[in-house]
Chains A and B, each alone.
Chain A
């Protein structure tokens, strides 16, 4: 694939994998309203992933399902932070904030055929960023227990920011963390290596096994 498509694949895979993670919250969210909110966001991300995968697939003569359901873990290019298990609600929301802040930087840079996907995605992502930010502030600046959980989420996620962080990213994250009474860890602290060379955490294999099993058991199935 062309370098451009490799770049698109990072975004598409990130959206698809995070969409799957958020969909795991269905019927488990703390309230019915939040359950629907997470479902909406997961579906937005799924739509964004499809839009980009269709472009990647067109270049190779495959279709989007081939990309979603028949690639092995080492062929996925999502930032590793997207594939981490959901953890608790604080971890899920902080991860959504981190990834949305990254997408807020990358969507506006897409041109050509991807610009059409990006135009819609920018608006959807602005809401995801807003929703995640308000939860991070609410929990960080909430009770002793919610603060403790948000702090634990921050410590757990910070080493996974490597592929998505930039100067602009830190500038978006810092005011939210400050308002949440959490201080931003050092930007030069250790962070994990990229997935660009096919290395993933152990978690992606399990995620794909669940996501891909139906399509692989019944290729071409429709309903």
Chain B
């Protein structure tokens, strides 16, 4: 349709978790975007909450910057939480 925009869809699968990006939908307004997201992405009980955001509102990093943005992290193993034991019963890490 002529007036359609693209919306990014975020679903929270259960309480305590964060909303995660699952994909995008086309819609002419926010209400339709929520309904389309519900119909496309929660058909099998995937979620308890939906966020939709106009794709145009997303600011993305430039792929040309990937060396300066991401390369430096690859050699810094001390940033990984692998130097201590995670106690039993701590979920969602």
Contact = CB atoms under 8 A, between A and B. Distances in A.
A37 B43 contact: no
A36 B1 contact: no
Contacts of B12: none
Q: What class of interface size applies to chain B in its complex with A? A: 10 to 19
A44 to B, nearest CB: 11
Q: At the interface, is chain A mostly helix, strand, loop or mixed?
A: helix
Interface string B39-79: 11001000000000000000000000000000000000000
Contacts of A34: 36
Interface in A7-44: 30-34, 36-37, 40
Interface stretch (B14-22, B23-31, B80-88): B23-31
Contact of A40 (B25, B26, B31, B39): B39
A134 interface: yes
Q: What class of interface size applies to chain A in its complex with B? A: 10 to 19
A138 interface: yes
Contacts of A138: 28-29, 32
A127 B43 CA distance: 13
A131 interface: yes
A134 B34 CA distance: 12
9 shortest interchain CB distances as A-B pairs: A33-B36, A37-B39, A36-B39, A33-B25, A40-B39, A36-B40, A134-B31, A31-B26, A33-B40
